[in-house]
Structure 1
Amino acid sequence: MSGNIQAMIANVSVDDLEEAIPLYKELAGDPEVLRFPYKEMQLALVGPFLLVSGPKGNHEAQNATILVGDLAPVLEALDKAGAQIVDAPSEVPNGTRLVARHPDGSVFEYLQPRA
């Protein structure tokens, strides 16, 4: 299963994306910033940081986003462990995602990026 994990991205809730981006760009070595909306929120991917701003509504706070090559073995492992699927797999602008609460209470977003 670990061979399926490609990267882990820290999720950071911020009040103001524009104010927060410069620090995270510097920390990450000045990468290109990818911005995109999700529901009522605005997001910015800055290297290994996903900055999230805006009304969270019923959005589940997540520990991290885990990029995977294939969601199928993730779903199998989550089911086997008794994890709760918070958001079922769905298409989003950058791939297919799901959100799961692990038995220990931690919440992770799993994303299979578009090829």
Structure 2
Amino acid sequence: MPLVREILARVFVDDLDRALPTYVNLSGGAEPRIFEFRAVRLAWIGSFLLLQVPPDQRAAYDRVATVLVENIKLAQSIVESGGGAVLEGPADGPNGPRMIARHADGSVFEYIQPGAG
């Protein structure tokens, strides 16, 4: 079984409620999961993760993508053995254990193990 389940495109929006209908329709009518994490309102819809972040905090949430994995500890091991570094976590999050990692090439990703929290 592959480690990566799915990759979510991270989309910054100014108004989550106004953006929702477009992404719901693009996802075939999928029901969005709306939640909050720190000062951010989020909606997970199909393969999209919408983020309504206060403008002065956007840089803190700038990631290439959110990667859903089967095993967060294995993802951590792979990142670190490849010369990358964990910047935050692994720690409990609203959708399961999560971490922020910088790969050896400098790319920063959020990793989540859904349903394991």
Q: Same fold (TM over 0.5)?
A: yes
Q: Which residue of 2 aligns with 1:88?
A: 89
Aligned residue runs from structure 1 range 47-58, under 5 A:
47-55=46-54, 56=57
Q: Which residue of 2 aligns with 1:46?
A: 45
Aligned residue runs from structure 1 range 1-115, under 5 A:
3-55=2-54, 56=57, 59-115=60-116
Unaligned runs of 5+ in 2: none
Once the two structures are aligned, what percentage of the paired residues are identical? 38
Q: Which moved more, 1:42-51 or 1:59-68?
A: 59-68
Q: Structure 1 segments of 4 or more deviating over 6 A?
A: none
Q: Give secondary structure in 1 for the equivalent of 2:19.
A: helix
Unaligned runs of 5+ in 1: none
Equivalent residue pairs, number = 114
Judging by fraction of residues, say which structure has more strand.
Answer: 1
Q: RMSD of aligned C-alpha atoms? A: 1.5
